[in-house]
Structure 1
Amino acid sequence: MQETRLDTARIRAARRVIDPIFLDTPLYRCEALEPALGCTVSIKLETANPVRSFKARGTEVVANLLADSGSRAAVCASAGNLGQALAWSGRGRGIDVTVVASRFATVTKLDRIRALGARLELVDGDHEMARERAAAIAQYDGIRLVEDSLDIETCEGAATIGLELMETAPAFDTVLIALGGGALATGVGHVVKTLAPEAEVICIQPLGAPAMTHSWRQRRVVTTDSTNTIADGVAGRYPIPAVLSDLLLVADDAVLVQESSIIAGMRLLLTHAGLVVEPSAALGIAAILEDPDRFAGRHVVTIVCGSNVDVDAYHRWVGAAPIHRS
């Protein structure tokens, strides 16, 4: 494999600075899902931690570096999960955290950012406008701007998931990874392709937020004017060139799925796995539902990456149709 920005030795070192509460998350075969999906399915559950997403693996690495350098403040833009994670990691190390988010972000996520002690600033636009505002704050105040996926620490923190897959999973054929900014996909993809190059790495985005997938397919940055998806955690419009370069080296495919499939995936995870997940976390199941022949007979690992949902919205989505039991 050609070289990505990531380094396997640094990824191994990252495990030593990440709070163990975020490491060694459950990984298990979910046989109850298999009749509905037609393949062997293992779940890597990245929701069983204090911020209910994988993001703290990366923010732990960032916050540790900031603390070591004497930095006492940081700012980020977030749809909710990164903000919670940075607030949690910063709080434990005496770092003042500011999070910029869209006022249309999931209320539950915004409430948790506040509860974790971060200063929250809301903008009237989408996540890209939040990124611009966060950059302005960082420049004006002279503090660290934490940029998810661009900052290598966020990718290498996420990559520790890949190490755990390699060490504990029985042999698997395919890993399905939600694709947003790219930290999770490039991080896990780097480790998988380094240690098990025969395994297939497939990234999944919603049809309503396809910028990174279009960029991967065309091998150049493709932006979109807007997004339209319930999967707010992956709803970016401006792919980062360096992240795309990494993704091109580690992803075997990037696919787009419909909103109805995302909802069906959430419903299956609730019904057959007892898991309440946010839309981004159901993208892997959605991909299997849309192309079952592709995965038939395979052993597939899907990373369930977050469970921060608005309860009312979740009930509207998952309760909108009867649950069909296998």
Structure 2
Amino acid sequence: MLKTRLDLDRIRTARRVIDPMFLDTPLFRCDALGRPLGCAVSIKLETANPVRSFKARGTELVASRLSDQGRAAAVCASAGNLGQALGWSGSRRGLDVTVVASRQAPAAKLDRIRALGAELELVDGDFEMARERAASIARQRGIRLVEDSRDIETCEGAATIGLELARQASSFDAVLIALGGGAMATGVGHVLKALAPGVEVICVQPHGAPAMTRSWHQRRVIATDSADTIADGVAGRYPIPAVLDDLLKVADDAVLVQEASIIAGMRMLLEHAGLVVEPSAALGVAAILEDPDRFADRHVVTIICGSNVDLNNYHQWVRP
């Protein structure tokens, strides 16, 4: 039995709590993308939902449990996607949701958080400053602090992606997962190692935000002084020890990619798959671009984890 904080039975049960609109997302082979990459590529599309990312799989669990406990409010720090997801899940269960974000976060994400009914507080500095402020609000108001990756619900909600992948695991041999705080990587990795151990679990992070990848390779928490990447959704600086412990058990590799490769990946997903994605969602394609020999003639799944992107920035990035 795989020893992590996650539990396969709880993950299976989670599917009954999560709104079905976030489940059974498309998984399809995209030959138009695979041909220029030199391998077979299948896309797991986690963006065709009201919050445009996989995050609601976890916030549905969080909000459901808070509602069952009679709790009325929650707060989180967010680079953008978690805040949208918690706002959506909370509003449907009568929860007052506060989201703390950096002023540097993409305006499109901040506008969506407001539109989904959450109270938004902005702080100077990066995501780690937002996390400190969210913890302070939780203490002051006596409300639930929702911490992505630290809270097991966020990991086990994301792990339901793994259940869906495992059904078709005989058709592919590797999955590429964007690595930030680690909820998706540990969740999907846990399920695949339990149900499809032959599938290689490869985590991908930008060179400009390498904290979790460095920690995985050195098998201890390595914090960084800064994060400098367009992939804002994975730009944390302080890995959570318990999450790293889980990641060490379920990931086969963790790699870093350059910003130019992320942009090239975004462009390829638009040109060959018709997908507008945020930078974090292009990390898997970037990994193939940087190490084509590793993936040559293999069948790889890449998880398209989010499409909340500032259009002005996006047009600048993908313009040839």
Q: Compute the TM-score of the two structures, normalised by the length of structure 2.
A: 0.99
Q: How does 1:197-208 map to 2 (within 5 A)?
A: 197-208=197-208
> What is the CA–CA distance in structure 2 between the aligned matches of 1:196 and 1:318, rounded to whole Å?
36
User: Residues 2 and 194 of structure 2 are in contact (CA less than 8 Å); yes or no, is this contact kept in structure 1?
Assistant: no
User: Are 2:260 and 1:260 equivalent residues in the alignment?
Assistant: yes
- The alignment partner of 1:236 has SS state of coil
Distance in structure 1 (CA, Å) of the matches to 2:88 and 2:127: 21
2:2–2:190 Cα contact (<8 Å) kept: no
The residue number in structure 1 matching 2:117 is 117
**Structure 2: distance between partners of 1:50 and 1:219:** 37
Question: 1:290 corresponds to which residue?
Answer: 290
Contact 1:106/1:309 (<8 A) preserved: yes
CA distance in 2, matches of 1:159, 1:121: 29
SS of 2:35's partner is helix
Answer yes or no: is the 8 Å Cα contact 1:27–1:42 preserved in 2. Answer: yes
The Cα offsets for residues 195-253 of structure 1, whole Å up to 9 and x where unpaired, read as: 01111000000000000000000000000000110000000000000000000000000
Q: Aligned with 2:217: secondary structure?
A: helix
- 1:193 is aligned to 2:193: yes
Specify the alignment match of 2:278 in structure 1.
Answer: 278
Rounded Cα–Cα distance in structure 1 between residues aligned with 2:214 and 2:65: 34
Secondary structure of 1:230's match?
Answer: coil
Identity of aligned residues (%): 79
SS in 1 for 2:167: helix
Q: CA deviation at 1:171?
A: 2.1
> Secondary structure of the equivalent of 1:139?
helix
Q: Distance in 1 between matches of 2:203 and 2:169?
A: 19
Matched letter for residue 121 of structure 1: E
Residue equivalent to 1:178: 178
User: Which amino acid letter does the alignment assign opposite residue 263 of structure 1?
Assistant: I
**TM-score between the two structures when normalised by the length of structure 1:** 0.97
Q: What are the Cα deviations for residues 44-79 of structure 1, in whole angstroms up to 9, with x where unaligned?
A: 000000000000000000000000000010000000
Q: Match of 1:220? A: 220
Query: What amino acid sits opposite 1:74 in the alignment?
Result: A
**Counterpart residue number, 1:44:** 44
CA shift for structure 1 position 166: 1.0
CA contact (8 A) 1:193 1:250 kept: yes
Residue 175 of structure 1: CA displacement?
0.3
1:137 Cα deviation from its structure 2 partner = 0.3
- CA drift of 1:170 comes to 4.7
Q: Report SS of the residue matched to 1:204.
A: strand
Q: State the match for 1:160 in structure 2.
A: 160
After superposition, the C-alpha distances for 1:250-305 in whole angstroms (9 at most, x for unaligned) are 00000000000000000000000000000000000000000000001111000000
Contact (CA 8 Å) 1:73, 1:96: kept in 2 or not?
Answer: yes
Instruction: Decide whether aligned partners of structure 1 residues 276 and 309 sit closer, same or farther in structure 2, where only a CA change above 3 A counts.
Output: same
User: Residue type of the partner of 2:261?
Assistant: S
Q: Is the 8 A contact 1:27 1:169 kept in 2?
A: no
Q: Letter of the 1:7 partner, please give it.
A: D
2:59, 2:153 within 8 Å by CA — same for their partners in 1? yes
Structure 1: give runs of 5+ residues left out of the alignment: 322-326
Pairing of 1:1-326 with structure 2 (within 5 A): 2-168=2-168, 170-319=170-319, 321=320
CA distance in 1, matches of 2:210, 2:258: 11
- Provide the rounded CA distance (Å) in 2 between the counterparts of 1:308 and 1:226: 23
The question of whether the paired residues in 1 share the 8 Å contact of 2:257 and 2:286 is answered with yes
Deviations 1:117-146 (A, max 9, x none): 100000001000000000000011000000
Measured after TM superposition, the shift of residue 2 of structure 1 is: 3.9
1:139-184 Cα offsets, whole Å, 9 max, x none, are 1100000000000000000000000011245521000000000000
Matches of 1:216 and 1:168, distance apart in 2: 28
Matches of 1:228 and 1:316, distance apart in 2: 18
Give the letter aligned to residue 176 of structure 1.
L
Letter in 2 for 1:86: L
Q: Determine the C-alpha separation between the residues in 1 that align with 2:271 and 2:123.
A: 36
Q: What amino acid sits opposite 2:190 in the alignment?
A: H
RMSD: 0.7
- Identify unmatched segments of 5+ residues in structure 2: none
Matched residue type, 2:120: L
